[in-house]
Structure 1
Amino acid sequence: MLKVYTDHNFLNKDNRREIFPLLFDIVYLPNDKTKQNFDLTNSLLEADVAIFPVDIISFLKKDKTDFLNKWIEKVSKFDIPIWVYAGGDFGFTFEHTKVTTFRLGGFDSKLSVRSEIMPSFVSDPYKEVLKSDFFTISKETKPHIGFVGNANGTFTKWVKEFLLYFKRNIIDIKNPEDYHPFYPASKKRFSLLRKIQKDEKIQDNFIFRNKYRARDLNIEKTTMEFFKNIQESLYVFCLRGNGNFSVRFYEALIMGRIPVLIDTNARLPLEDLIDWKKHCLIVSENSIIEDLLRFHSSKTEAELKEMQENNRNLVFEKLNRIDYFIQMANIHLKKK
């Protein structure tokens, strides 16, 4: 049982969307798992961990009294770790020896040991969208790789992405998020997908969109197409977006498919507990075709089916919101 201290003044309906993810399940959606593993306390003397209750990026944008830093300093006088959550695509590096920052992405070579990567907490598309049961895909002679999403190689698209980058990093001087170099994700995807399409040894299943989640089209139809594409593809092409992480990576896992993740120096969640080489294929931009063909030929059908089942189980056992924080709590309690 992890005893959690937080500021209860923030635990209201107005902060529901910005709440620290674990507190969402403790406060708004309590269930047997949270009750068995976590307990809120008003005493810093009793607490095992102190959690700042809301997303610190959203908070810093309107923190005119330096409340966050004062709260950290107050709590840090007690011999307990402090957890903060930096939401959004880019995250925030909080420099304090007692503070662990939970964030969605970042660059592994730049993140400190006090930065923990959270998975994207995705719901089960089989239940929510497809209304069907999970099944494994048999091995075929050619690796079958799928993708549906924003992939546009035009100069106009590049300019739009650069203007967004310029606004966030140059014009918006009050933006507290970490700086990320310009990365034209849509153009990168387009180029790599076209490269794959030209190789006759690979079976591709690609649908190119001009906007994220095809927001200019029928959302129900395109959402179904998105998840049907993953369902029908043994491998799923995954490349970062604005931030250095891929939501599609976790969608492929929960659907029991094998993510082909383009290496962009990203850190993955729970790297000390999860052997990620057993769940995905991480490739470089320059060798994606060779790496995919080599991997596919090295695996038997039984191994590929087992990998699909293990990927789906991984999300239900470790990468959903509650169980992820149970893993983090267990790690913390073992250190005491």
Structure 2
Amino acid sequence: MRLKIYTDPAYASPVNRMHCAMLIPFLGSEEATFWSEGTNVFDRYKRNGAGYFELTETMDEAEFVVLPSTWHRYLADGTTEIALRFAQKAADAGKRIVVFHERDYDFKFPAKNALLFTPTIEKDRQPNEYALPAWMPDHTNGPAPLREKKERPSIGFCGLVLKPHVKSRIVQFARTSLPYYSERRMGAYSASLKESFQYKFLRAKAIQTLLDHPGVDTNFVLRGDFFAGADKKATANGKTEARKSALEEFLGNLDGSDYSLCVRGIGNYSLRFYEIMAAGRPPLFLDTECILPYDFLLDWHKELVWVPLDQHHRAGQILVDHHARLSPDQFAEQQRRIREVWEEWLSPDGYFRNFYRHFRPQ
């Protein structure tokens, strides 16, 4: 089921010649973030990718054209005209162009022949928009040890929780209520910021909801900065050590909890979600009308402990009811299934192994 794809590295962003994840087995030089750089995140896909895609020599031979860099790369580098020129070249040849965007905000790609793969869509999803995982490492090279079922569910969380104060409330008001600050950013390619900033304090509300529920044991490590403030360290070595310490604390929190709270951040998705899935811990997933990969094949409402948008205030009771329905064997199988879903559909290798299904559903 290999897809025939074509790209031209000459159309990568010239400021930072990095390539989208799909092209790593063929071109290398992936666009890395500090949480993925130097990790095992793409190892398996690098070995197997040539079995999933055939890189053609000419555009005419290909089923799809692939934009060589991520859309975020062109936006950040100020080189969007290069990406749009390549999209037009594909359109002139009668080809659709696959575009990957790997960052928080809901940036649109303004070409009618584009197929946009993105982790975050705030609202009004278009037919040409598909969900993309966040590329997170398999930190432990396998699932966390299986937990045995206890009478009461325990839920963990380790990460940034923003608390309302005067300055943050002013920013939230501006982003959600004032047109100049809420409608456009980065050359008018973004959807409105209004939707993302209305959820600014959702994590704090969810944390308090669970703390208040008498039937839930909580295991929360609440931080005031992203990645425990690692990027604020003065030296590179200080940043590295701080990130390592923060990751170990996060993994310990996963290991010591039955479930893990998953709430969106700035973008309408969660990096933490993919780490939780890789560890084999069932997420308590607070839906915000987000998109998840392969939602046309997977019933995510059944795969996760799903908290609908209008039921966030009942998150604790939903978790208690879910846990009570499980036998000890079902509780263990739930953990195995979460890891299985990550391996098959969300890891880079699994995601790209199934990529053809977006166009050839079975």
Name the TM-score class by shorter chain: 0.7 to 0.9
1:37-89 deviation line (CA, Å, top 9, x unaligned): 21212312110110111122331455578333332222123343320112310
1:235-273 deviation line (CA, Å, top 9, x unaligned): 111110000001111111100000011111101110122
Give distance in 2, aligned partners of 1:171 and 1:31: 37
Question: Are the equivalent residues in 1 in contact too, given 2:117–2:131 (CA < 8 A)?
Answer: yes
Question: Are the equivalent residues in 2 in contact too, given 1:153–1:191 (CA < 8 A)?
Answer: no
Aligned residue for 1:180?
193
SS at 2:92 equivalent: coil
Q: Which residue, 89, 94, 108 being the options, matches 2:104?
A: 89
SS at 2:297 equivalent: coil
Aligned residue for 2:21?
21
Give distance in 2, aligned partners of 1:60 and 1:154: 31
CA gap of 1:95–1:311, structure 2 versus 1, over 3 A, is same
Kindly state the Cα deviation for residue 117 of structure 1 after the two structures are TM-superposed: 0.8
Question: Are the equivalent residues in 1 in contact too, given 2:143–2:278 (CA < 8 A)?
Answer: no
Kindly state the Cα deviation for residue 297 of structure 1 after the two structures are TM-superposed: 1.1
CA gap of 1:171–1:313, structure 2 versus 1, over 3 A, is closer
Give distance in 1, aligned partners of 2:9 and 2:228: 39
Question: Residues 7-18 of structure 1: matches in 2 within 5 Å?
Answer: 7-10=8-11, 15=16, 17=18
255-264 vs 41-50, greater mean Cα deviation: 41-50
Aligned residue for 1:229?
253
5+ long unaligned stretches in structure 2 = 29-42, 234-241
5+ long unaligned stretches in structure 1 = none
Aligned residue for 2:157?
147
Kindly state the Cα deviation for residue 23 of structure 1 after the two structures are TM-superposed: 0.9
Kindly state the Cα deviation for residue 133 of structure 1 after the two structures are TM-superposed: 6.6
Give distance in 2, aligned partners of 1:78 and 1:25: 25
Give distance in 2, aligned partners of 1:77 and 1:94: 17
Q: Does 1:312 align with 2:322?
A: no
Kindly state the Cα deviation for residue 311 of structure 1 after the two structures are TM-superposed: 1.1
Give distance in 2, aligned partners of 1:13 and 1:74: 18
Question: Are the equivalent residues in 1 in contact too, given 2:293–2:345 (CA < 8 A)?
Answer: no
| RMSD value, Cα | 2.9
Give distance in 2, aligned partners of 1:125 and 1:164: 38
SS at 1:76 equivalent: helix
Q: Does 1:243 align with 2:267?
A: yes
Q: Does 1:105 align with 2:113?
A: no
Kindly state the Cα deviation for residue 16 of structure 1 after the two structures are TM-superposed: 5.2
Give distance in 2, aligned partners of 1:160 and 1:255: 37
Give distance in 2, aligned partners of 1:325 and 1:133: 21
